[in-house]
Amino acid sequence: MSRNEQDSGDSRRIWEALAFILHRVYEPLEDEAADWAIIGGAASALQDIAVTPNELRILSAPDSLDTWSSHLWDWLDEEPDYQDPSHVKLNLTVEHAPVTILVREPRDSEKGILLEGVGGAVWDVVGRVRFQNWLVPVVPLEVQFATAVGRMVRSPSQSSWQHLAAKMAGALYANGYYRELIEEALNPYGAQATKVALDLIGSHASPRRPRAAREQPGRKPKK
């Protein structure tokens, strides 16, 4: 059993909610080869970052809107606004935990996510980690790290981003990372942010293949 499954308190509710949702939508999403991924704090925790997520956030391409809605309709907090099917937000409460499903193409920035740099190609770099009996798609740690560094550079007085970036940098240094992906995701923040990111990780370390737990990785690092 993984560390994530052993967590107690608030985070346990998040993992119970994730299991509840996966029981209902994982196979239908796999059958249709859907593009989706866990994002935010839960994605960081699933990639062995020592954080306690207080909500479960999921990003999904618009093609799977009907699948999410039909299988989780009874747990929606309110009827979603379907006026623009390519930009829908589903709010749920599952196992006493808040869940948000963002149904859209990842072409812009959302709260706690940086996706401008990789645009729609983020689906090409989504990795998978094991959670109980499932291989769950997650936004790569490199992209989340870029988010934290970018926000740290823009708001240096907010120490929470500095602490999070430091935790992620340690994991990336220890387990390997895609330098190209970090640089690409930090493009909107400029060269200074990229320098800060690489300095945090340790620019003397050679980029390596990411952690073994990541299944079906996207692009590979440059040799």
- State which amino acid sits at residue 220: K
CA distance 210 to 174: 9
Please check whether residues 116 and 24 belong to one and the same domain: yes
Please check whether residues 134 and 33 belong to one and the same domain: yes
Please check whether residues 47 and 106 belong to one and the same domain: yes
Final residue of a domain: which of 99, 124, 139? 139
CATH (domain of 21)? 3.30.460
CA distance 86 to 10: 32
Distance of CA 169 to the CA centre of its chain: 16
Please check whether residues 24 and 36 belong to one and the same domain: yes
Residues 123-151, buried b or exposed e (16+ Cβ, 10 A)?
A: bebbbbbebeebbbbbbbbbbbbbbbbbb
Does pLDDT of 33 surpass 90?
yes
Q: What is the pLDDT of residue 75?
A: 95
Residue 120 lies in a domain: yes
pTM greater than 0.85: no
Residue 76 lies in a domain: yes
pLDDT one-digit tens code per residue, 118-166: 445 678 788 999 999 999 999 999 989 998 998 898 888 878 889 999 9
Average pLDDT over residues 90-109: 84
Residue 29 lies in a domain: yes
Average pLDDT over residues 183-192: 84
Please check whether residues 80 and 172 belong to one and the same domain: no
Residue from 55, 86, 85, 200 nearest 141 by CA: 200
Please check whether residues 7 and 55 belong to one and the same domain: yes
Domain range for 154 is: 142-201
pLDDT one-digit tens code per residue, 16-27: 999 999 999 999
- Poorest-confidence range of 99-103, 165-169, 174-178? 174-178
CA distance 47 to 60: 19
Bridge-based pairing of strands 56-60 and 97-104 is parallel
Please check whether residues 47 and 134 belong to one and the same domain: yes
Domain count, the chain: 2
Q: What is the pLDDT of residue 2?
A: 46
What DSSP string runs through 6-55?
H--THHHHHHHHHHHHHHHHHHHHHHTT--EEEEHHHHHHHTT-----SS
CA distance 71 to 174: 39
Average pLDDT, the chain: 82
Please check whether residues 48 and 81 belong to one and the same domain: yes
Residue 161's CB is within 10 A of a number of other CB atoms, namely 19
